[in-house]
Amino acid sequence: DGVTGASPRTARVLSIAGTDPTGGAGVQADLKSIAANGGYGMAVVTALVAQNTHGVRSVHVPPVSFLREQLHAVSDDVDIDAVKIGMLADVHVTRTVSGWLGQVKPGLVVLDPVMIATSGDRLLTEDAEEALRDLLSVVHLVTPNIPELAILDGSPVATSWSAVLRQAQHVAETYGVLVLAKGGHLAGDLVPDALVGAHTLREFPGLRIDTPNTHGTGCSFSSAVATRVAARAGIAGPSLADWGDAVAEAKLWLTESIAHSGDLQVG
Ligand code: PLP
């Protein structure tokens, strides 16, 4: 049923992200997604965000020395199977996380390149986009939506699925990462996603669900993939098939979650 897919062990998954006090996006969503997908969730907060499903009211970024303390407090104690990175707020936060990744070298790193919320509010300062691109070379999977993919690729926003796939392949080749390109921002009833490598492609078809309740779906999806792939990975790390199967399972789970989101009455 997508939620109880076979997991050989409980993956220890660390979310490094911003907050959403309504629980729909950010760290709060990540922790719920990790748990719902069978993992053990941990969280380091990059930024405190006063927001709800309508928009962002203000952002508070604690000093990076405190961020570093949080990161090392986790990695000094717990073996981390996978890291999911979300909102990085600014260039200082981005470089601090990058430095920690270089020291700790977690086996699996999934980056959701959070830049601008659906409401139009910035969650990453513009001058941090270069530092975010630098981070790509040390992550295993990046999960951009269409506007984020365009910024990563330095291209105009794609308006067709074939253009999305071309940009994703270019990013994969340039940075040596896998790209999970997400088609949700395309016009129309089809919402395809694709796992794209420099020389590989696996597509995941989907149908649009008519609902306004999509706040935080990107956060939830990337956490679900990180959790599912960590559960599948052997000692040598995940194979391409493991990544693909993890995405398929996570997409099935997320689609069900979106389909039932209206029942919750949470903004
Ligand atoms: N708030 C935080 C802290 C996030 O990390 C994200 C992630 O994309 C969002 C909000 C996104 O909100 P929305 O799904 O409404 O674009």
Strand 109-111: give its sheet, edge to edge: 56-60, 40-51, 12-18, 82-85, 109-111, 141-142, 178-182, 193-196, 201-204
So what's the pLDDT on residue 98? 97
Give the model confidence (pLDDT) of 79-90 as tens digits. 999 999 999 999
* Per-residue pLDDT at 7 exceeds 50: no
Give the model confidence (pLDDT) of 95-137 as tens digits. 999 999 999 999 999 999 999 988 888 999 999 999 999 999 9
- Bridge partners (DSSP) of residue 60 are 48
| Residue whose entry in the numeric block shows the structure tokens 């949470």 | 266
- What is the predicted ipTM? 0.90
**Ligand 1 in reach of 117 Cβ (< 6 A):** yes
Helices (H), the chain: 26-36, 64-75, 91-104, 129-135, 146-153, 161-175, 217-232, 240-259
- Bridge partners (DSSP) of residue 41 are 13
CA 235 / ligand 1 centre spacing (Å): 33
Rounded mean pLDDT of 136-145? Answer: 96
**Ligand 1 in reach of 183 Cβ (< 6 A):** no
Which of 87, 112, 118, 124 has the most ligand 1 atoms within 8 A of CB, as the residue to mutate? 87
Give the model confidence (pLDDT) of 183-242 as tens digits. 999 999 999 999 999 999 999 999 999 998 889 999 999 999 999 999 999 888 999 999
So what's the pLDDT on residue 252? 97
Which of 19, 20, 97, 185 has the most ligand 1 atoms within 8 A of CB, as the residue to mutate? 20
So what's the pLDDT on residue 185? 93
So what's the pLDDT on residue 1? 44
Give the model confidence (pLDDT) of 14-49 as tens digits. 999 999 999 999 999 999 999 999 999 999 999 999
Nearest alpha carbon to residue 91 among 127, 45, 44, 142? 127
So what's the pLDDT on residue 220? 97
Mean pLDDT, rounded, of the chain: 94
Q: Whose CA is nearest to atom 4 of ligand 1?
A: 26
So what's the pLDDT on residue 119? 85
Tokens found for residue 86: 């979300």
Identify whether the C-beta of residue 245 lies closer than 8 Å to the C-beta of residue 37: no
Angstrom distance (rounded) from CA 87 to CA 15? 10
CATH superfamily for 12-261 is Ribokinase (3.40.1190.20)
* Per-residue pLDDT at 3 exceeds 80: no
Angstrom distance (rounded) from CA 63 to CA 67? 7
Identify whether the C-beta of residue 26 lies closer than 8 Å to the C-beta of residue 17: yes
Identify whether the C-beta of residue 123 lies closer than 8 Å to the C-beta of residue 86: no
Cβ count near 147 (within 10 Å):
13
So what's the pLDDT on residue 2? 46
Q: Which residues are catalytic?
A: 182, 214, 216-219
Rounded mean pLDDT of 255-262? Answer: 92
Q: Whose CA is nearest to atom 11 of ligand 1?
A: 117
| Residue whose entry in the numeric block shows the structure tokens 């990453």 | 124
* Per-residue pLDDT at 8 exceeds 80: no
So what's the pLDDT on residue 4? 52
